[in-house]
Amino acid sequence: MSGRLAGRKALVTGAGRGFGRAIALGLARDGADVVVHYNSSQSGAESVATEIAGIGRTAHVVQADLTSWEQIAAMAQTAFERFGQIDLLVNNVGDVAPEQQSWREIDEHVIDRVLAVDIKGTMLTTHEIGRRMLDADGGAIVNVCSNVVVTGSARAPQYAASKYGVIGLTKSYAAAFAPSVRVNAIGPGYIETETTLEREDWRSGRREWVLERTPLGRIPGPEELVGMVVFLGSADSAHMTGGFVLCDGGFSMVGA
């Protein structure tokens, strides 16, 4: 690792498992101390914190339901009290409605849940951490979006809608927080996390379908994409804000 985040303080949402876990550990390896957020994966978050300590960095674990403004505000307050500042926020939490296999299975509860987590949760976390960053010395925010904003989702249209919302939030807060706080988003495709591997469609042909259409010919594990988060959170991307970077192996190439 490069040490590009040496001395930085970070908060990663949904860091108890999957991509969030890989991000939290990757930031620590690059020099950051990390607030490890979880909602229900307490044992996973505590395990991540232990690994971060083993790397030689400091970690704090915090629980919050990201559909609750009150809990998000409390999380932000705790993070700033424990570290004194937060230089990097990674909004990793998202709900892909993994149990839904077709648009025909849509119901109001699943629509409300996905939009509440992906849009409301991302917006309020950005709001609460970002405004504190503005009062301090600035910072960077990285939103984990998806290539679904290019491809759409016939399986779960509400998920595509929610990630379009994250793009809107990214651009809006990039303008609102400029010039001292930068806000960017990444757009991964499929990542082989625990959640992906457990999906029924992944076990019944979806993986092979995706591989056939991916020019780089592989589906990454979460660790492979951490470098893009580090890049957007470091001074290497100092003149980038309001941006969206696809990193899906070429699956959804788009024009300029």
Q: What does the pLDDT look like over 130-161, one tens digit per residue?
A: 999 999 989 999 999 999 999 999 999 999 99
Alpha carbon distances (Å) from 188 to 16, 67, 100, 175, 249: 19, 23, 20, 23, 9
Among all residues, which ones are annotated catalytic? 159
Q: Which tokens belong to 146?
A: 């998806």
In a domain, 254, yes or no: no
**pLDDT (0 to 100) of residue 124:** 98
In a domain, 132, yes or no: yes
**pLDDT (0 to 100) of residue 256:** 66
**pLDDT (0 to 100) of residue 204:** 82
Question: Kind and range of the H or E element at 195?
Answer: helix 194-198
**pLDDT (0 to 100) of residue 251:** 94
**pLDDT (0 to 100) of residue 43:** 96
Q: What are phi and psi of 89, to 5 degrees?
A: -110, 130
In a domain, 250, yes or no: no
What CA–CA distance (Å, rounded) separates 93 from 73?
Answer: 16
In a domain, 1, yes or no: no
Show the low-confidence residues of the chain (pLDDT under 50). Answer: none
In a domain, 59, yes or no: yes
33-38: strand order across its sheet: 59-63, 33-38, 9-12, 88-91, 139-144, 181-188, 244-247
In a domain, 205, yes or no: yes
User: What total number of domains does the chain contain?
Assistant: 1
**pLDDT (0 to 100) of residue 1:** 59
Cβ–Cβ < 8 Å for 57, 31: yes
In a domain, 256, yes or no: no
**Host domain of residue 210:** 9-245
Cβ–Cβ < 8 Å for 46, 62: no
CATH code of the domain in which 239 resides: 3.40.50.720
In a domain, 61, yes or no: yes
